[in-house]
Amino acid sequence: MPRLDIYEHFHPDEKAFVDRAWEWVERAAERHETRRTDFLDPRQAHILFTLANRHPDAAVRLDGGSADAERKRAVIAPDYKPLEAEDMGIAVLAISSDDRRIADLDHGDYLGALLGLGIKRDKIGDLHVREDGCHALVAEEIGDFLIGHLKQAHRVDVTVSLLPLPALREVKSALEEQTVSVASLRLDGIASDVFRLSRTKIVEPIRAGRCRVNWKTEEDPGAPLCPGDVVSMKGFGRFKVLEVEGVSKSGRTRVRIGKFV
């Protein structure tokens, strides 16, 4: 399949990952190789799944360790190979502490502690944060390293252990719904209302590369949003565009938003 036929379906910024994913698919189909990837974000998983479906001799399985996982590992293999029994290489890293301050830690504190050890984000799946600690889904090949090196999370002393997947205590993301009234569906307009910041203050982090739309960096404040889009702003949080409810008599657009809490 000509590469140009593949590229036309994806954003130019995604070319590097498309090339890598298509190589995985070709090697599975033509060289009968089986490959297990690191954790993919939802956009990467969509690209890989789409490419695998375009090749009749390749198959892919995605699994993030739980039914509603956001980040998933993939196994790409020849289409004749059963994939359900393939080991996805995912372990549960249980992080706990006797320090009562652990109840104050959030997703960013735990993720920062892991990345601070030099771990690549691709080796870490979803994090399930509770008041008494966190269950982090990680690539099993880094498990021993984490046990030996993860001692603190945001200045709170922690202990860690590895658990099998059935021991995962899943925490489902909650959405706090709200309706905003905006002049247009521009990213900066909606984000400023959701995070209650002025348009000027929201534009700066967007242009600085601190905003992602559907897990892809978006530096254009005027980028249009659509229902289903997930927006994350480093330091502010995440929200999902749930529905465009219509236009008011004054000409403003009502948009229903779900803010991750």
CATH code that applies to domain 90-167: 3.30.70.330
pTM of the predicted model as reported, rounded to 2 decimal places: 0.81
Query: Tokens representing 193?
Result: 């209302």
- Asked if the 3-78 domain carries CATH number 3.10.20.340, the reply is no
State residue 11's pLDDT score.
77
Q: What is the C-alpha R_g of the chain?
A: 20
Residue 130 near residue 169, CB atoms below 8 Å:
yes
Cβ-proximal residues to 58 (8 Å cutoff; 6+ apart), any chain: 25, 26, 28, 29, 52, 76, 77, 78, 79
Domain spanning 175-260: which superfamily? RNA-binding S4 domain (3.10.290.10)
Looking at residue 2, what is its pLDDT? 47
Tokens encoding 141 = 């090949």
At 28 the pLDDT is 97
More confident call, 174 vs 46 = 46
If you average pLDDT over every residue of the chain, what do you get? Answer: 93
Please tell me the distance from the alpha carbon of residue 249 to that of residue 122, in angstroms, as a whole number: 47
pLDDT in tens, 182-214: 999 999 999 999 999 998 999 999 999 999 998
Q: pLDDT at position 99, please?
A: 97
Q: Domain segments of the chain: what residues? A: 3-78, 90-167, 175-260
Residue 206 CA to residue 204 CA, distance in Å, equals 5
Distances (CA, A) of 204 to 83, 186, 199, 220: 45, 15, 9, 10
pLDDT digit string, tens, across residues 72-128: 999 999 999 999 989 999 999 999 999 999 999 998 899 999 999 999 999 999 999
pLDDT by residue (tens digit) across 15-36? 999 999 999 999 999 999 999 9
* Residue 187, C-beta contacts closer than 8 angstroms, at least 6 positions apart: 206, 211, 213, 218, 220, 221, 222, 223, 224, 225, 231
What dihedral do alpha carbons 85, 88, 94, 95 form, nearest 10°?
Answer: -170
pLDDT value, residue 8: 78
pLDDT value of position 4: 53
Question: What pLDDT was estimated at residue 14?
Answer: 86
Half-sphere exposure of 189 (CA within 13 A, CB side): 15
